[in-house]
A and B are shown apart, each in its own frame.
Chain A
Amino acid sequence: MLVESLTLSAALFTIGVIGVLTRRNAIIVFMCVELMLNAVNLSFVALSKLYGATGQVFVIFVMTVAAAEAAVGLAIIIAIFRHKKSVNLQDINLLRG
């Protein structure tokens, strides 16, 4: 089971990374980031079967932090929507790298 879980976790993580890199809607990008975090959670839970409770404790922390991050992130997305009337990353181009 361990190998399968870790493989699934790696696959989900990769899907998340591809989503962040290719999607243009800020909210979908953020969803892909959450997918990455939850893929990691799956790894932690699977590994804790091998090594004990540390992995499960870590998952609780990750979920808490992800919730706090979501609160701040969605507020920032609302702030940008007020200025631009859009959450499309292609419309957000005042500043250039």
Chain B
Amino acid sequence: MSFDVSTPTGLLQALGPDLVLIVGAMVLMLVAAFRPESAGHQRRVGLMALGVLVATIATMSWYATNASSTTVHGIIAVDGFRWAVNLVFLVGAAATIALGIEANPRDRIVAAESHVLVLFATAGMMVLAAARDLMIVFLGVEMMSIAVYVLAGINRSSARSAEGALKYFLLGAFSTGFLLYGIALIYGATGSTHLGVIGERIGTFGLAGHGMLLVGVGLLLVGFAFKIAAVPFHMWAPDVYEGAPTPITAYMAAAVKAAAFAMFLRAWLEAFSLLDGSWLTPIWWLAAVTMVAGNAIALAQRNVKRMLAYSSIVHGGYLLVAVAAGTGLGSAAFLFYGIAYTLATFGAFAIVSVMAPTGSRGALIRDYEGLWTTRPWLAVGFAICMLALLGFPIFGGVGFFAKWYVLQAAITSPRELTPLAIVLVLTSVVSAGYYLHVVRVMFMKPRPEDADEPGPVYPLTQAVLVGSVALILLLGLFPNTLATWAKDNALGARPTAVTTNAP
């Protein structure tokens, strides 16, 4: 089925999966507000939110096989990349809600709307993945961010949570200002907010050296670097990740980051590929500094949540290498990495939420000592997630291949990124210092006498945990299936427009 995105009807049809999610979320918000707040109601709303996500995934799978666009310069992309990234967001959202249903009572959060807000944030991400116009990019970023600001502070009884939310909000709004000013300057230099038109005009009018455009793209890059917490724009991330409820932390580390990357990859490839002479070097340094500094600080962490926060900063740096590659292969590597990283993150945070029921207690690496002797399966699951994040062969499953494809994209890129690939490999070796440290502590140290007994693993948490660990290992055995899928859905692999008509 083919849509003409230039007409309102075609646009609505092309937004089918997004609309299913948005309408479902709105109805569910009414349901959440309809009854007084209680733990039972919260659980019921959470289960319904999972239902909405399943409906969205079903609609999206239909679109992924059947939909195409007839418009050259539509403001909404109808391509494989959009559906593939949406899958990462929707799986991430489902895992967040599943963990949240059981983690919220443990953290004494009674807020049925927390599950609905995850749906709203996911809708914003889906809009962001579809955006081919900077106006839609801005709307997507804000739909996502505003919902996530609330989620970061959803635990109203915790001062840490409120503090994390304030930091996230102030720096997030600050970065939005940069993003927006960047968009205004790009509009001023090219006269359009459409990514495709911007790309064409940069070529036709030879705007690659235009000062206003270069500053605009730079400000856009700053806004994006804040969202993905690239060093030196990362100061907020560890605090926010530590303060937020654990399932939300996982959501921010995996899905929010993937959404920002999907947006930037599309903008970079469709609009600004001619600017690599001036802006490749800053992205190069951003990636290198993020990998080096992130790993160095992660080594010093004693709190598992903070360690994973720095680890997510570092993974943002690895993904920046794929962005710097600036090829379709780079976007394929990003898709592969997105799936692998999401699985490992949710597996790891599922265990963190079991180990640390009430915020900071039980979240230190010391609390994991000798876990193997009391809860062997938790220790094995956490070890596999750590090895996957490290990119260890065989035992780390799909994590190894994720890094492999990023390296491949960097080395085959026409932009000579071999030094950056070397930095990636060396910093990965350094990251073994903290990932393997946790594994060693769990398996080789005795359980301290006064250690708390970890809480029980409830069925939904168990499902997330077993699902992600099983998929990490399974996709590690058959990486080609995932790699083919990623290549088929890379940017530019399937053309956005089937037939041509004048813009």
Q: Which residues from chain A sit less than 8 Å from chain B, CB to CB?
A: 6, 9, 13, 16-17, 20, 26, 29-30, 33, 36-37, 39-40, 43-44, 47, 50-51, 54-55, 57-58, 61-62, 65, 68-69, 72-73, 75-77, 79-80, 82-84, 92, 94-97
A16 CA to B184 CA, complexed, in Å: 16
Q: Which residues of A contact B164 (CB under 8 A)?
A: 95
Contact call A97/B238, Cβ cutoff below 8 A: yes
From A17, A30, A68, A79, contact of B162 by CB (8 A): A79
The stretch among B15-23, B166-174, B402-410, B432-440 that forms the contact with chain A is B166-174
Report if A20-B174 is in contact (Cβ < 8 Å); known contacts: A47-B184, A77-B166: yes
Within 8 A of A (CB), among B226-272: 235-236, 238-239, 242-243
Interface check B150, CB cutoff 8 A = yes
Report if A69-B173 is in contact (Cβ < 8 Å); known contacts: A83-B162, A92-B166, A95-B243: yes
Within 8 A of A (CB), among B146-203: 146, 149-150, 153, 156, 159-160, 162-167, 169-170, 173-174, 176-177, 180-181, 183-185, 187-188, 191-193
A16 CA to B242 CA, complexed, in Å: 29
Report if A72-B180 is in contact (Cβ < 8 Å); known contacts: A54-B193, A58-B193, A95-B164: no
Interface check B429, CB cutoff 8 A = no
Q: Which residues of B contact A39 (CB under 8 A)?
A: 181
Majority SS at the chain A contact face: helix
Q: Nearest Cβ in chain A — how far from B290, in angstroms?
A: 15
Contact call A13/B163, Cβ cutoff below 8 A: no
From A36, A50, A68, A97, contact of B177 by CB (8 A): A36
Report if A72-B150 is in contact (Cβ < 8 Å); known contacts: A39-B181, A58-B135: yes
Interface check B142, CB cutoff 8 A = yes
Residue in chain A with minimal CB distance to B159? A83
* 8 sampled A-B residue pairs with Cβ under 8 A: A20-B170, A37-B177, A51-B192, A76-B169, A80-B163, A80-B165, A84-B159, A92-B166
A83 CA to B170 CA, complexed, in Å: 18
Interface check B138, CB cutoff 8 A = yes
Residue in chain B with minimal CB distance to A16? B177
Contact call B184/A92, Cβ cutoff below 8 A: no
From A40, A75, A80, A97, contact of B184 by CB (8 A): A40
A76 CA to B163 CA, complexed, in Å: 9
Q: Nearest Cβ in chain B — how far from A87, in angstroms?
A: 9
